[in-house]
């Protein structure tokens, strides 16, 4: 009896190797894709994925849109006094709270930077009570021992116009205002109010006084260096 044809054996080996190589490449590409889309510490979406895919999709969605920018307070103090492991747990706890507080499969939450303590949330819906949503998020974080500064920018404008494009910058600017006021609070802004009332007259109101819930605050117009006036709400849980 003659043995197996060497040519057939060689072809079989080559086919098996090619199949193994393709499967291995597919697994590596999936790992690379996951690494680019998800933050390795928290499992949330990454800031790179938000910038490259999810934010453009949100702008084109044709739905009311809100952006929440959250900066955790006291992370540096936690790192310095309890170690970076405790700081990582602080970040992960905040990520879990935000993930559970949002509507699964509808709203999205991202960790803005791999080495930072900032988060961004996309809310794809009309917000009947933006202040209540901000208070609810701060309250949930506080229940888990986390203090945060929160900025929210929202619009009901459905077209691809500056009112939508600028939401991320406005939310971050609002968060910085909350941080400058000592943290543990939120500033909510909407460019819609500016269109409805293009020349509002700001009042001199102490934002911490009970009842002074809607002071006027200035947000920076991205790319111009000029302040623009928009109605905002300061809330403190």
| Residue 179 forms part of a structural domain | yes
CA 124 to chain centre: 12
| Residue 199 forms part of a structural domain | yes
Query: String of b and e for 86-106 (b: at least 16 CB within 10 Å)?
Result: ebeebbebbbebbeebbeeee
| Residue 27 forms part of a structural domain | no
**Residue among 117, 102, 109 nearest 58 (CA):** 109
pLDDT at 110: 97
| Residue 111 forms part of a structural domain | yes
Per DSSP, the three-state class of 205 is coil
Tens digits of residue pLDDT in 88-123: 999 999 999 999 999 887 899 999 988 789 999 999
| Residue 134 forms part of a structural domain | yes
- Transcribe 132-165 into DSSP letters: HHHHHHHHHHHHTT--EEEEEEEE---SSSHHHH
Tens digits of residue pLDDT in 121-175: 999 888 889 989 999 999 999 999 999 999 999 998 887 777 788 999 999 999 9
| Residue 152 forms part of a structural domain | yes
| Residue 217 forms part of a structural domain | yes
| Residue 145 forms part of a structural domain | yes
Question: 191 lies in which domain range?
Answer: 37-235
Most confident listed range (23-27, 30-34, 184-188) = 184-188
> Tokens representing 4?
């197996």
CATH (domain of 107): 3.30.70.270
pLDDT band at 21 (very low <50, low <70, confident <90, very high): low
CA 173 to chain centre: 14
Rounded to whole angstroms, how far apart are CA atoms 187 and 153?
9
- Mean pLDDT lowest among 4-8, 27-31, 218-222: 218-222
Number of domains comprising the chain = 1
Q: Are 130 and 190 in contact (CB under 8 A)?
A: yes
pLDDT at 199: 39
Q: Which tops the pLDDT comparison, 42 or 21?
A: 42
pTM: 0.71
């Amino acid at each position: 009896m003659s043995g197996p044809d060497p040519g057939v054996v060689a072809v079989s080996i080559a086919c098996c190797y090619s199949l193994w190589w393709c499967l291995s490449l597919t697994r590596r590409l999936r790992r690379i894709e996951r690494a680019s889309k998800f933050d390795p510490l928290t499992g949330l979406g990454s800031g790179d994925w938000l910038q490259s895919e999810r934010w453009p999709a949100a702008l084109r969605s044709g739905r009311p849109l809100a952006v929440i920018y959250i900066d955790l307070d006291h992370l540096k103090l936690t790192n310095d006094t309890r170690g970076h492991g405790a700081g990582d747990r602080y970040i992960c706890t905040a990520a879990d709270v935000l993930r559970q507080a949002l509507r699964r499969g509808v709203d999205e939450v991202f960790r803005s930077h791999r080495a930072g303590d900032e988060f961004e949330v996309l809310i794809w819906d009309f917000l009947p009570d933006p202040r209540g949503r901000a208070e609810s998020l701060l309250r949930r974080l506080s229940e888990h021992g986390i203090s945060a500064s929160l900025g929210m920018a929202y619009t009901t404008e459905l077209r691809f116009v500056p009112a939508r494009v600028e939401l991320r910058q406005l939310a971050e600017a609002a968060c910085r205002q909350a941080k400058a006021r000592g943290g543990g609070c939120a500033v909510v802004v909407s460019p819609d109010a500016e269109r409805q009332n293009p020349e509002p007259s700001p009042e001199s109101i102490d934002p911490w006084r009970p009842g002074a819930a809607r002071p006027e605050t200035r947000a920076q117009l991205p790319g111009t260096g000029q302040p623009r006036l928009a109605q905002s709400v300061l809330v403190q849980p």
